[in-house]
Amino acid sequence: MDDLEQTCASLRAQIAATEAQLAGLKRDLQIAEQAAVAQKTQDPNPTNDRSPARKWPLLEDEYRRYGRQMIVPQLGIQGQLKLRSARVLIVGAGGLGCPAALYLAGAGVGTLGLVDGDTVESSNLHRQVLHRTKNVGKLKVDSAIEYLQELNPHSKYIAHREHLTPQAAPDIFNDYDLVLDCTDNPATRYLISDTAVLLGKPLVSASALRTEGQLMVLNNPPRPMGDKTGGPCYRCVFPKPPPANTVTSCADGGIIGPVVGTMGVLQALEAIKVITAEEAPAPSLHIFSAYSSPLFRTIKLRSRRPNCAVCSAEATVTLDTVRSGSTDYVFFCGTADPENLLSAEERITPLEYRAKHPEASVELDTREPTIIDVREKVQFDICSLENSINIPMSTILASARMPTGTAGSADGSTALPPWVPSDLASSEATDPVYVVCRLGNDSQIAVKKLKELGLDRDGQRVVADFRGGFRAWKEQVDPEWPEY
């Protein structure tokens, strides 16, 4: 048996090494193909130096390819030529960046740059429409450019295979005319906006979560710092970032694919308008809600804030402060890192739990110990441990804060919030209580809340969480546990 396991492990290692080598060869081929396409586009007939100058500004294929949009009065041939000469940077090749890049490439934007350091995961595929199943594990920018080159070989595609950093952002942005913010975290949003303003680049910013999205065109028209006629920046609209513990990503909050796709397509549309329009429209915030009627609401934005830290005459953010790191975006936005909320004694790994409570397996009908699942009901319905109790985190946080020790009062649980189960609130109950969530973050907050309510009986009862949540449960206990 040991020999077979060693053979399997050896074969897996060889497969992984071969796949890595193949991925490297594919990247090299893609770079070579990209260079060949760019050279061909710049000089479509390099062997015939004596050919007469072209009578028409576009290639024959380009007239056929873009004809349907060139006959739209708002665009025309002049707009198409502007698109052809435009250089657009897309930061983020995910749910927003994929549809935005798709339509900008299709529209004939001359140069498209993509910035992203992530690789394609299978969980991306329901919404990140440039990536395909065969490209899982591949860098997102490489996967996206592979698709875009097949869509439109006339455009030039530049891959920035990295996460955007303050040190690199100014140098990357400097080579582009327009920037699209297709990221999903506040620190990067402020970095993108600040860099765009400091370099005089208009910015199209969007976000999406669950069933809702937002869209803004910022720093349009771009003007020097202190010029009140310039468009507002991200700091003008949001001078203070949201509390770190209120920021939810698509991975945690979920997203419907067409919602983020809608916002990405609208980013492409706004980018085309910025490139081809003669004048910038009044700044507005567009709010999309998939399950509301009407679907869209528009809020007029104010002009630049007179005390904005980046675009006003009192600006304190400069290219030097960005590059040097003295403008600390992570510190400015804060971090929601609950890893140190609990002590080691208040946490248990799924493997330790299974060893300590072998009789409390998912196959047995037992209520000892108590397991509280604090995921929202929609996630609890996807998969749950047998005999676990679902008390959503939103319900726990919405309840009023109770004084410590009320659970142990003589009259039982009368002072406890209604979500506390009666058997858990009993003054005689001392069975262990374990809290579990998806990743092991919310569960820590819930444990502290339960202890604030006095449910640990002044240390007589174990109240702890599963370190790593259900992700660790899958790794350590049940490999068949659904991963979503």
User: Per the structure block, which two tokens stand in for 440?
Assistant: 């092991």
Active site residue 333: no
From the candidates 98, 250, 333, 383, which is the catalytic residue? Answer: 250
Q: Quote the CA–CA distance of 26 and 142 in Å, as a whole number.
A: 9
Identify whether the C-beta of residue 223 lies closer than 8 Å to the C-beta of residue 234: no
| Strand 296-300 with 347-348, pairing | unpaired
Active site residue 250: yes
Q: Quote the CA–CA distance of 100 and 249 in Å, as a whole number.
A: 20
Q: Quote the CA–CA distance of 138 and 114 in Å, as a whole number.
A: 15
User: Per the structure block, which two tokens stand in for 83?
Assistant: 């698109």
Q: How long is the chain? A: 484
Residue stretches of the annotated binding site for Zn(2+): 233, 236, 308, 311
CA 303, chain centre distance (Å)? 28
| Strand 87-91 with 178-181, pairing | parallel
Residue stretches of the annotated binding site for ATP: 95, 116, 123-127, 140, 184-185
Q: Quote the CA–CA distance of 41 and 458 in Å, as a whole number.
A: 74
From the candidates 98, 182, 333, 437, which is the catalytic residue? Answer: 437
Q: Quote the CA–CA distance of 267 and 203 in Å, as a whole number.
A: 10
Phi and psi torsions of 269, nearest 5°? -60, -45
Outline where 309-392 has alpha helix (H). Answer: 319-324, 329-333, 350-356, 377-380
In the three-class reduction of DSSP (H, G, I as helix; E, B as strand; rest coil), residue 428 is classed as coil
Give me the active site residues, please.
250, 437
